[in-house]
Structure 1
Amino acid sequence: MEFAEASGQEGSVMRLGYGGDVSNVAIAAARQGLSAGMIGAVGDDAFGGKLQALWDREGVDRRHVLRPGGSRTGLYFITYEAAGHVFSYARDGSAASRYTPADLPTADIAAARLFHASAISQGIGLGPCDATFEAIHLAREKGVSISYDTNLRLKLWPLDRARAIIHATAALADILRPGLDDARLLTGRQTPDAIADFYLGLGPRIVVLTLGSEGCLVATPARREVIPCLPVAFVDASGAGDTFTGAFLAEYARTGDEFASARYANVAAALKTRGIGAIEPIPRRAEVEAVLSGEPA
């Protein structure tokens, strides 16, 4: 669950919201028409119940989200500074941090078309990290396409360990989704092209590097293209990258065209930034397609 800083009558307050990058991705994908499900664990508390209700409303399959008795849901807090969002975490001992490979729904992973994972899931504990690797290896053995977001949170783990785990996982991915700032820290490269070269060298077929207000760079061994961002009346960037990822995966599953999928995802992410919060402003397919067909954003 997410607590985000907001303005109140007596100064700053913390506004309760739904968060978690893989949950945001699943909801964004579902709103574009993709059948999506979650794997993980939530707490046996009010927050866990709220997340279950959210996934039910959004049509995200939660059969494989555990809710161990007596456990608690992980929380994080967002404050805003001149440089952007600042994240603080209260995830030690949470239900998700205790997830292990033994908890994986192996049959459903093997039957999926796409499996998406995030470095944040790996950073919250050794068990979830091992489970992520186990799930990816199983999916690869069954021919399932792997999508991986290198989402770096240095408050979860030190840079050297994060770099080693993230790059070992990136080498197993078909679709890699780094962001520019994280990629500079992880790779030591500074330019988008150099970062794309580095990550393609690890083995992914497709690298989709988000560039913030500059859009994204889509790179394959044969082609690369910078796709500009859609100008909109910006309000809040929370969850924009996750919206991009979910929309990209939904469109890629539909078309198999990574460049068209990135154009679609750019529009979806831009539309999301017009509203406050990570979930509520995520657009549905009809809204995205209307803008792509020429309607104003």
Structure 2
Amino acid sequence: MYPGGNQLNTAIYAKWAGADSAYLGYFSDDVRGKHLKWVLEKNGVDLARCKVLHGQCSYAMTTLVDGNRTFHGTRKGVNAMTPIVLDQEDLAYIKGFDLVISDCYSNLDVTEIQKINDLGIPFAYDFSEEFTEDILKEYCPHVDYCFLSCNQQGGEEQIHALLRRIHSYGPKIVVGTRGAEGQIVFDGEQFYVGKAAPATVVDTMGAGDSFTCSFSVAYTDSKKIGSERVREAMDFGAKFAAKICGINGSVGDGLTYEGNLEDLYSDEDGYVYKPYKKSLGDVQAK
């Protein structure tokens, strides 16, 4: 079972990209939760404001075919079902950083994002494929760097229209990722089309998170301006994501699962969607 999840991936990728990083969230107190905490600590991620909750860790089931992964089910644990509420000590801690990155799976309500906005720190948010027009209108006024998966959004003309519309809702930068086809970025003045960097693909798990994180880190850290700043961040992000495709899981460090794979699909104490019961030997639990 490989450690992962958008927030964990991002915290570790930021460290790998050369930044000092921290993870602010919850851990379960079971074996998997303890393993996630260990992996973050091993990679030098600060966990000073994290909390440990009693219960089961979330996990997802995936298949891996020729390096490409497909999600087939998720069990939500206490870490995924407990909304994050930022107190004054959390906010004082966050104020010491130059960038905050979150996503649609983080349980972070708009009211909490507004607290981060009040600190004056750039806020990056990944909508993945989990967005509607209403969600975009609600969240985007509070987002500086907006990311979303555009694999199902048509050709370049349709994606351009979508990114332009999203930009009008507030973000300074809007990035549409397209997997192996690269990215399209809109900064309010022009569109930039980037290609995926050459990669030896072992596992695409974490490819999107790695681009989102490394682009955001590079863009925030850059001393350049205008189009040079955007292109530099796109290039750094593409090369970084290519490297991530060369490892097992999103960050490596898998944990051996010694139980019955069928038990992972039980919904007795968790919520499971898209149950998948075929070729269990090909399933990796993340």
Do Structure 1 and Structure 2 share a fold, with TM-score over 0.5?
A: yes
1:10 maps to: none
Paired position in structure 2 for 1:141 = 118
Which TM-score applies when normalising by structure 2? Answer: 0.77
Q: Distance in 2 between matches of 1:67 and 1:267?
A: 35
Aligned pair 1:47/2:14, yes or no? Answer: no
Q: Aligned partners of 1:226, 1:20: CA distance in 2, in Å?
A: 27
User: CA offset at residue 53 of structure 1?
Assistant: 0.8
Instruction: Please report how far the alpha carbon of residue 261 of structure 1 lies from its aligned counterpart in structure 2 after TM superposition.
Output: 0.7
Matching residue of 1:24: 9
Deviation at 1:194?
A: 1.5
The question of whether the paired residues in 1 share the 8 Å contact of 2:25 and 2:84 is answered with no
**Cα displacement string for residues 136-157 of structure 1 (whole angstroms, at most 9, x for unaligned residues):** 211211211110000235xxxx
1:120 positional shift: 1.1
Candidates 209, 212, 226, aligned match of 1:245:
212
Alignment of 1:99-178 (within 5 A): 99-101=83-85, 105-121=90-106, 128-130=107-109, 133-152=110-129, 164-178=134-148
Q: Does 1:195 align with 2:159?
A: no
1:213 to 176, 180, 186: 180
Deviation at 1:81, TM superposition (A): 7.0
- Maintained 8 Å contact 2:60/2:71: no
Aligned to 2:258: none
- Mapped to 2, the partners of 1:204 and 1:170 lie a distance apart of 6
Q: Deviations over 1:179-212 (max 9, x none)?
A: 1136x39xxx972212211211211010121121
Spell out the pairing of 1:75-94 with structure 2 (5 A cutoff). Answer: 75-80=59-64, 85-91=70-76, 93-94=77-78
**CA distance in 2: counterparts of 1:50 and 1:84, whole angstroms:** 22
Letter aligned with residue 101 of structure 2: H
| Cα distance in structure 1, aligned partners of 2:45 and 2:102 | 16
Instruction: Indicate which of 216, 233, 242 corresponds to 1:261.
Output: 233
Check conservation: 2:151, 2:179, Cα contact below 8 A: no
Map Cα deviations across residues 96-143 of structure 1 (whole Å, 9 max, x no partner).
31134256712122333211110012xxxxxx343xx23321121121
Q: Which runs of 5+ in 2 are unaligned?
A: 224-228, 254-286
Q: Judging by fraction of residues, say which structure has more strand.
A: 1
Q: 1:62 aligns with which of 43, 47, 53?
A: 47
TM-score scaled by length of structure 1: 0.75
State how many pairs are aligned.
246
In structure 2, the CA distance between the partners of 1:21 and 1:163, relative to structure 1 (3 Å rule), is farther
Q: Would the aligned equivalents of 2:3 and 2:252 in 1 still touch at CA under 8 Å?
A: no
Could you tell me which runs of 5 or more consecutive residues in structure 1 were left unpaired when the two chains were aligned. Answer: 1-15, 122-127, 154-158, 282-297
Secondary structure in structure 2 of the residue aligned to 1:178: strand
RMSD value, Cα: 2.6
Q: Which amino acid counterpart does residue 236 of structure 1 have in structure 2?
A: D
2:2 maps to a residue whose letter is: G
Gap change, CA 1:190 and 1:43, over 3 Å in 2: farther
Letter in 2 for 1:99: P
Q: Amino acid of the residue matched to residue 168 of structure 1?
A: E
Give yes or no for contact 1:80–1:86 (8 Å, CA) kept in 2: no
3-state SS of 1:33 partner:
coil
Aligned partners of 2:203 and 2:246 also within 8 Å = yes
More helix by share: 1
